[in-house]
Amino acid sequence: MKGLAELARLAQQARTRAHAPYSRFKVGAALRTKTGEIILGCNIENASYGLTMCAERVAVFKAVSEGFREFDAVAVCADSSHLTPPCGPCRQILWEFCGDIAVRMVDLKGRARTTSLSKLLPFPFDSRHL
Ligand code: THU
Residue with CA nearest ligand 1 atom 14: 25
Q: Which of 12, 25, 83 to mutate to test the pocket of ligand 1 (most atoms within 8 A of CB)?
A: 25
The CATH number for 79's domain is 3.40.140.10
- Bridge-based pairing state of the strands 27-33 and 38-42: antiparallel
Q: Looking at the 3D structure of the chain, how many domains does it have?
A: 1
The closest-lying atom of ligand 1 relative to the alpha carbon of residue 90 is: 6
Instruction: Please report whether residue 85 resides in a domain.
Output: yes
Instruction: Specify the pLDDT at position 2.
Output: 85
Domain that holds residue 23: 4-120
Supply the residue whose CA is at minimum distance from atom 6 of ligand 1: 86
Per-residue pLDDT tens, the chain, 130 aa: give them.
889 999 999 999 999 999 999 999 999 999 999 999 999 999 999 999 999 999 999 999 999 999 999 999 999 999 999 999 999 999 999 999 999 999 999 999 999 999 999 999 999 999 999 9
Whether the full predicted model's pTM is greater than 0.85, yes or no, is yes
Atom of ligand 1 nearest to the CA of 44: 12
Residues with CB under 6 A from ligand 1: 20, 23, 25, 27, 43, 45, 52, 54-56, 76, 84, 86-87, 90
Dist CA 42 CA 122 (whole Å)? 25
* In a domain? residue 54: yes
For residue 27, how far is its CA from the centre of ligand 1 (angstroms)? 6
The reported pLDDT for the residue numbered 1 is: 84
In a domain, 125, yes or no: no
Q: Is the dihedral of CA 82, 86, 91, 96 positive or negative?
A: negative
